[in-house]
Structure 1
Amino acid sequence: MGALVIRAIRNFNLENRAQREISKMKPSAAPKHPATKSLLREQIGSHPEITEEITRKDGKLLSLLKDVYVDSKDPVSSVQVKAAEKHQEPKEFRLPKDHHISMDIKNIPKGKISIVEALTLLNNHKLHPETWTAEKIAQEYHLKQTDVNSLLKYFVTFEVKVFPSKDKKAISSK
């Protein structure tokens, strides 16, 4: 109900208000600085041909302008060019090594490993470093040698160590 009243007030006498706004005087040019005004008056007073020169049209320049032909085309974006040149090669996939552990993963792109596989290979390398070398891991999981070296250098699996408290005597193993 309130919207009808507001719309009626907003549209009241709309055509007359629009006509009044259109018939108003157009805005004039911005006023010049007083110092500039006096200088312009002096120049126009001493050289009246300046006003004629400003208002006169030059036929030679107009004819040259008519001869100008501008043909523009939007430049092709570099992203579109790169996308057109670079077509994706089909990726090679491999089956996960221990696929019975994680059933939701169907295949893994070559050069990548799952979290379960990463933990498995880190643990295998930790337990048997002479058999699970970086070269064997890279070959087994289809990884780059440098990636495997970085993985073995910077990532370790958790190891739980329980230390006996200082006030209790530790039971020695026989």
Structure 2
Amino acid sequence: MGASVTRAIRNFNLENRAEREISKMKPSAAPRHPSTKSLLREQMNSRPDIKGEIARKDDKLLSLLKDVYVDSKDPVSSMQVKDAGTRQQPKEFRLPKGNHFGMNIENIPKGKISIVEALTLLNNHKLYPETWTAEKIAEEYHLEQKDVNSVLRYFVTFEVKIIPPEDRKAIQSE
């Protein structure tokens, strides 16, 4: 009910209102500042060919414009692209290793590891570098060798060291 009333009010006398807007005077150019009028007049007097230059059409530019050809096509919707593409192969998953402290992780794609597993493998490599080599870690967690080498090279686990002050007495906890 409300939509029909709104539509009736919006379309009331539409043609007359449109014609009134069209027949209004078009806006003129902004008035020039009085200080620039004398400068413009001087330029027009010193070079009378400027007016003709402004109004003249350049045939060379017009011919170049006629040579331009624009061909446009509607973009293909993403739904069609997905349907046309090949079907994805099902991903291989593996079970998470170690304790995940109550996290709800059921399976992890091969080639990826969880945060807990990353910290575990970094710590294992730090504590036992002979047994936890990059090759063993790559095999155990189904990762690529170059990725494991990069992780072991650029990431380290935090190590907390408490250095007691030598010149002050340590405060004893009660």
Q: Which residue of 2 aligns with 1:138?
A: 138
Q: Which residue of 1 aligns with 2:156?
A: 156
Find out whether 1:97 has 2:97 as its counterpart.
Answer: yes
- Which secondary structure does the structure 2 equivalent of 1:138 belong to? helix
Matches of 1:165 and 1:103, distance apart in 2: 40
Deviations 1:22-70 (A, max 9, x none): 3798589xxxxxx67xx9xxxxxxxxxxxxxxxxxxxxxxxxxxxxxxx
Matches of 1:22 and 1:103, distance apart in 2: 69
Compare CA radii of gyration and give the structure with the larger one.
1
Are residues 110 and 79 of structure 1, via their aligned partners in 2, closer, same or farther at CA, if it must alter by over 3 Å? same
Matches of 1:73 and 1:160, distance apart in 2: 63
Are residues 19 and 125 of structure 1, via their aligned partners in 2, closer, same or farther at CA, if it must alter by over 3 Å? closer
Matched letter for residue 76 of structure 2: S
Give the CA deviation at 1:78: 8.9
Give the CA deviation at 1:163: 1.3
Q: Which residue of 1 aligns with 2:19?
A: 22
Are residues 75 and 150 of structure 1, via their aligned partners in 2, closer, same or farther at CA, if it must alter by over 3 Å? same
Larger displacement relative to structure 2 (139-148 or 78-87): 78-87
Are residues 25 and 129 of structure 1, via their aligned partners in 2, closer, same or farther at CA, if it must alter by over 3 Å? closer
Deviations 1:116-142 (A, max 9, x none): 111111110010000000000000000
Find out whether 1:116 has 2:119 as its counterpart.
Answer: no
Residues 111 and 144 of structure 2 are in contact (CA less than 8 Å); yes or no, is this contact kept in structure 1?
Answer: yes
Q: Which residue of 1 aligns with 2:68?
A: none
Unmatched 5+ stretches in structure 1: 1-6, 29-34, 40-71
- Scaled by the length of structure 1, the TM-score of the pair is 0.53
Deviations 1:50-104 (A, max 9, x none): xxxxxxxxxxxxxxxxxxxxxx994563967764234321111000011563441
Matches of 1:27 and 1:101, distance apart in 2: 75
- Which secondary structure does the structure 1 equivalent of 2:123 belong to? helix
